[in-house]
Amino acid sequence: MVKHVNQEELEVLIRENKYVVVDFWATWCGPCRMLAPVLDSLSEKYADKAVFVKVDVDDNEDAARKYGISSIPNVFVIENGKVKDNNLGFVPEASMEAFLNKNLV
């Protein structure tokens, strides 16, 4: 299960972990709700490689602004405190897994 965090918690996790996978989303976003079970499944599979979290852009506008979020869902891979890559929009599990395999080296 992907943990819901606020901006402060996100910044702590980014400082303390090599890889953080961040799902920027909102409750009203249909594609975000479709992506949630995909990320829940993959977060279990990749638990040894990265911390998976969700950030609600409506509740954490500063975080959304900091990372330049203008469309959601937007999944970021942050490596050693820096954005490595992102994936915008809903994708099926196989595509998200390929994205993670490429970025969680």
Tell me the catalytic residues: 29, 32
What's the chain's length in residues?
105
d(CA 24, CA 64): 8
Q: The tokens 């992907």 sit on which residue?
A: 2
Contact yes or no for 87/99 (Cβ under 8 A):
yes
Q: Which helix (H) or strand (E) holds 84?
A: strand 82-88
Q: Which two tokens stand for residue 54?
A: 């969700």
Residue whose C-alpha is closest to residue 39's, from 13, 14, 18, 21: 21
